[in-house]
Structure 1
C-alpha cells in the first residue's frame, strides 16, 4: 500500500513538472514571437537590435531547457504508464508534434535566431516574418497538445486492438518517477549554469527505462514452464 502511494505521489509530481514546463515552453515561444514582431515593425535600430538579442537569449536560456524538460517528462509519462506511445491516437499525436517541434526548434529556429541577432548588430537583415510565424505556430502547437491531454479525443489505435489490455505496459516502479523528476530539474539547472541546454541525464534516464521496460515485456510474454 505504501509503495502504491509512493508511485502515485511521484507520478503526480511528474505530471506537475510536465505541465509547468509545457506552459513555460509556450510562454517563451509567445514572448519570442512578440520580440521578433517588435524588431520587424520598429524603425528604431536600437530597439530592433535589443529585441532580437533578447529573443535569442530567451531561446537559449529558457525556451530550450523548458522544451527539453517538457518533452522528457512527457515521454517518460508515456513510457512509464499504461498509456504507452502507440495505444491512443491522442498520445501518438502529442508524441509526433513534440518530435517535430524539437527538430524545428533546435535545427531551424535557434540557428535563425542566432544569425538574425548577429545580422541586427551588423545593421544588415534581421529577423524574418517566417520566424515570427514559426514561433507563433510553436505556441499554438503546445496549446493544441494541452487540449489533447484534456479532451483525449479519438479512438484507440490498432496496436491496442491487436494486443488488448494484456498488451498494455504496466506502471513503472516509484524509482522511475523519482528519477524523472530529479533528472528533469537537474538538467534544467545545468542548462541554466551553462547557458545552453544539455539534457544528458534526461536522455540517459529515458533510454535506460526503455531498455529495462523492453526486457520486462519480453519476460512477461514468455510462456510459463509447467513442472513435469
Structure 2
C-alpha cells in the first residue's frame, strides 16, 4: 500500500478513536448523573465504579490514540500545527483535554468511588466535566468538517511524509492499546516515541529544505 492509503488509514483510525472517546465521555456522564440522582447507595457505588473502569480501560486508550493520530496527521502532512486556525484550535483543545483527563478526571473518579461507598453522590463538577469533554469533542468534529477561519500564516506548503511514517501512525497506537489491555492501564509509550521521532524528523527536514 502506498502513502495515500496509509494516510487514509491514519485518518480513519483518528476518526473512530475520536468518536469512541466522545462515546465513552458520554457514558461517564450518564453513569455519574445516575450516581448523583439515585438515592440507592448500591447504585451509586456501581455507577461510579463502572465509570472508573470505563475511564481506565476504554476512554484513556481511545483518547491517547485519538490525540496521537491527530498529532501525527498534523506533523506528517501539509496541515502542520500552526498554519490553520482550525488545526491550532483542535491542537489546543486536545492538549487541555489530555491534561484534564490525566491529571484531574482519573483522580476525581477514584475519589468518587470512595465517596460513593461512604454514601455520597458523584460531585457536580465531575458530572459537568464529563459533559464538557463530550461537548469539546463534538466541537472538534465540527472543526474537522467545516475547517473555518482560514490560515494563521502563509508560507511554503509543507511536504507529506512517506508511507512508513503513516504505517507507524497506525500500528503504534494499536500496539499500545494491546499492551495496555494486558497491563491493565494505558501506556502510550510507543506512540509517544513515534510522535517525537516524526517531530524531530520534520524539523530536520524543514531545516535542510526537504522531507521524505
Question: Where does the alignment leave 5 or more consecutive residues of structure 2 unmatched?
Answer: none
Q: CA deviation at 1:126?
A: 3.8
Aligned counterpart, 1:224: none
Q: CA deviation at 1:124?
A: 4.4
Aligned counterpart, 2:124: 129
TM-score by length of 2: 0.96
Instruction: Give the 5 Å matches for 1:166-177.
Output: 166=156, 168-177=157-166
Alignment equivalent of 1:33, drawn from 29, 32, 35: 29
Q: Is 2:41–2:119's contact at 8 Å kept on the other side of the alignment?
A: no
Alignment equivalent of 1:210, drawn from 166, 175, 199: 199
Using the alignment, how far apart are the partners of 1:15 and 1:182 within structure 2? 13
Tell me the alpha carbon deviations over residues 12-61 of structure 1, each in whole angstroms, 9 at most, x when there is no partner.
Answer: 00000000000000000000000000001001111110000000000000
Q: Is 1:25–1:66's contact at 8 Å kept on the other side of the alignment?
A: yes
Using the alignment, how far apart are the partners of 1:87 and 1:73 within structure 2? 18
| Larger-Rg structure | 1
Tell me the alpha carbon deviations over residues 77-106 of structure 1, each in whole angstroms, 9 at most, x when there is no partner.
Answer: 000000000000000000000000000111
Q: Is 1:39–1:127's contact at 8 Å kept on the other side of the alignment?
A: yes
Runs of 4 or more above 4 Å deviation = none
- Pairs aligned (count): 210
TM-score by length of 1: 0.90
Q: Is 1:21–1:66's contact at 8 Å kept on the other side of the alignment?
A: yes
Aligned counterpart, 1:141: 136
User: What secondary structure does 1:22 align onto?
Assistant: helix
Using the alignment, how far apart are the partners of 2:3 and 2:34 within structure 1? 46
Aligned counterpart, 1:9: 5
Aligned counterpart, 1:102: 98
Aligned counterpart, 1:200: 189
